[in-house]
Amino acid sequence: MAQLAAASLAGWLDFGPMKHLLRILTLLLPLTAAAQSALPPCPTDVSVRWHQCFGTLADKSERYVGEFRNDRYHGQGTYYFSSGATYAGEFRDGLRHGRGAYTFANGVRFVGEYQDGKREGLGIEYGPDGSVTRSGQWSDGNLTQAFALSTQRFPFSSSPRPTAASPADPSRAERDRLLAEAQSERQRRVQLEAQLEAERKKRLEAENRRGSEQAPSTGTGFLVAPGLLITNHHVAANCQRLDIVSPDGRRAAKLVDADDLVDLALVRVTGLSGPVASIRRAGSIRLGEAAYAFGFPLTGLLSEGGNFTNGVVSSLRGMRDSVNQIQITTPVQPGNSGGALVDSAGSVIGVVAAKLNAAAVSRATGDIPQNVNFAVSPQALADFLRKNAIATRAVERGAALDTAQLADTLRGFTHRVECSGPPSASPAQRAPEPSAAPASGNTAVWLINRSGESIFRVFVSSTSASSWGTDQLGSSVIANGDRFKVEPAAALGCVFDVRVEYKSGAFEEKRQQDFCVLDDLAFSGEGRRTAASTTAANWILVATSSADNEFYVDPASIQRDGDYRRFWRLLNLKVPLDSGASSFLIFREIDCRQRRGRNLQWTSFRGPKASGEVALSNTESSAWEFIAPDAVTNTELRYVCAR
């Protein structure tokens, strides 16, 4: 789908810019296959983004039928190629990603795992007659390690089936009629927006005539990690000086990143600590649930100590059906911008962004809107945090607090943001604000291996992150006596945790290392540990497969989080794999309600029960897989979910 920027709706808002994108729909098809997805049908309004919906998109001789997110193929779907080939399975951000089946026009089929559009992981390739031609581990589209896989895991006949084809295209006259209606609606909206934009410019010109000497503008922000705050783009993006005001004093801050489309900004301030906000899982927000805000509105007129207000989520979409916003009845004023919107348990469900300008809308429409306010949606916030590598653990809806406790919770992680002085140039002309972290290059550190054995994997992660991230070495190895340079992103700060994994399977970690001060960091091996020694306190045999493979669980490692359980599993193989692996140590997560599981990380060993040298290891989470009642892992599910 093509997108086209339309006139700004800023004149509708008392504070905060807002942008809108209009879609040019190339072909509209009936959505009779929508029953095959739990998602609602995609909207027929051409000005609305296709997000979290099920629909059909066709272009000439190719067609996609399935789920969408942010105008891209995302979720389950089927793509029909002009060559006669089909792909049925999982998509992410427009690419094949996850489990799926690709069937060529000649009948050859690959069933397995994909990543970013390429074969990546385990999979089986079948000939036209259903016989296995190749199987094993794939990487970057190529078979890198051949070994036999169970065809029950990646079957030829029961792999994801193509979604039913949509009915024939509507007639040309019908398409022309729909497009003409859409064009007429766009013209009407453009005229209304032009009128509102003229009003906004007139107001800005009047404000500029008052002179450039004005008091600092204020907004609100909240901590998402030590020293890192979220606020609005329109609060922090165009300031000569940015300050964070807290009960213990004022601190200078720097802009790390800003996104004017969703109206979010990330600000770093040295020395600011205190409670950090928890972020609610985006898909769990419900229409009508309570929504609370704490901020610093109308500074100099209202209380300097902040204001606490409450309302409800009145719509899961914002102005003009924007998926980047939700609508709320919670009272907000200029100065609330950038503050956290939380649920009754104190978890963030949005970022306060704007209120509807009742006077402007009344002049344009003849009607006076009441109590219409907006917040950045939880999905847009999650995407912005992920883009900036801010690791926050999404939580489910928790137990409700009383309002006094809730106000204290909000006040604990909320701070006032002050923007001083007019910008020296327009936003388009200004260079991006530098990060408060050291300039690029100052975070470079040489890792020195003095352990007596080779280092196979290296992980460098911000101290505030919840996972180690990706391996820095790739295909390289740090031999004993050698060194390797790591240089994490300066925007993540100075303090990092480092983990190295040795050929023997042992690992060594150094926490809270200041990369802005260090030039090198040596690993002597004196602090090395093995994964088994830290998790195998008391292995309990919970299941045995038909192939006599043994599944053990350490009950002391089981972590409860609502319906979720995380724990260490030891898998002992009766027959070693071609890779040499005889056992696996797996950190696993199970969703007890939805009956599904996934591996968060694993290491394979050449000896039984996590002994001997490491064969392979992986720290990337696998996709969720549903656990069938007759599966051997169902016994494991019952065991851990009962605890």
CATH number for the domain spanning 95: value is 2.20.110.10
Whether residue 619 sits in one domain with residue 538 = yes
Long-range contacts made by residues 88-96, C-beta under 8 angstroms, separation at least 24? 88/159, 88/160, 88/161, 88/162, 88/163, 89/114, 89/159, 89/160, 90/114, 90/623, 91/66, 91/67, 93/69
Query: Residue 541, SS3?
Result: strand
Whether residue 518 sits in one domain with residue 461 = yes
Domain boundary, last residue among 405, 420, 435: 420
Residues pairing with 373 in the sheet: 328, 355
Whether residue 375 sits in one domain with residue 248 = yes
Whether residue 551 sits in one domain with residue 407 = no
Nearest residue to 127 (alpha-carbon basis) of 104, 154, 101: 104
Domain with residue 247: its CATH number is: 2.40.10.120
- 17 occurs within a structural domain: no
- 209 occurs within a structural domain: no
Q: Which residues contact 15 (CB under 8 A, 6 or more apart)?
A: 234, 334, 337, 354, 355
Whether residue 368 sits in one domain with residue 284 = yes
Segment-wise mean pLDDT, segments of 10 residues, the chain, 643 residues: 33 41 28 51 76 82 86 89 88 91 90 92 88 88 84 67 41 60 66 69 61 65 90 86 86 86 88 86 88 83 78 87 87 88 92 73 61 88 85 81 90 89 38 32 81 86 75 80 85 84 78 82 80 57 89 85 85 87 88 88 84 75 83 90 86
Whether residue 538 sits in one domain with residue 465 = no
* Overall domain count for the chain: 4
Domain boundary, last residue among 527, 558, 573: 527
Whether residue 113 sits in one domain with residue 248 = no
- 222 occurs within a structural domain: yes
Domain with residue 551: its CATH number is: 2.40.128.710
Domain holding 483, by residue range, is 445-527
Alpha helices by DSSP H, 209-289: 233-236
Domain boundary, last residue among 146, 163, 196: 146
Count Cβ atoms below 10 Å from residue 463 Cβ, excluding itself.
15
- 196 occurs within a structural domain: no
The rounded distance, in Å, linking the Cα atoms of 443 and 54 is 45
Whether residue 630 sits in one domain with residue 491 = no
- 399 occurs within a structural domain: yes
Alpha helices by DSSP H, 164-314: 172-208, 233-236
What is the chain's length?
A: 643
- 197 occurs within a structural domain: no
Sign of the C-alpha dihedral, residues 240, 246, 251, 256? negative
- State residue 240's pLDDT score: 82
Whether residue 514 sits in one domain with residue 370 = no
> In the chain, what's the furthest Cα-to-Cα distance?
83
- 129 occurs within a structural domain: yes
- 10 occurs within a structural domain: no
- State residue 5's pLDDT score: 31
The token pair that represents 34 in the structure block: 């929508």
Q: Give the full edge-to-edge strand order of the sheet including 72-80.
A: 53-59, 62-69, 72-80, 86-92, 95-103, 109-115, 118-126, 132-139, 142-146
Residue carrying the six token digits 């053990």: 552
- State residue 599's pLDDT score: 87
- State residue 387's pLDDT score: 83
Long-range contacts made by residues 544-551, C-beta under 8 angstroms, separation at least 24? 544/632, 545/632, 546/632, 547/574, 547/575, 548/574, 549/573, 549/574, 550/574, 551/632, 551/633, 551/635, 551/636
How many CA atoms, within 13 angstroms, populate the side-chain half-sphere of residue 63?
18
Whether residue 465 sits in one domain with residue 387 = no
Count Cβ atoms below 10 Å from residue 364 Cβ, excluding itself.
16
Whether residue 590 sits in one domain with residue 479 = no
Whether residue 255 sits in one domain with residue 400 = yes
The token pair that represents 354 in the structure block: 């704007």
- State residue 183's pLDDT score: 66
Domain with residue 523: its CATH number is: 2.60.40.2890
Question: Is the pTM value of this prediction over 0.75?
Answer: no
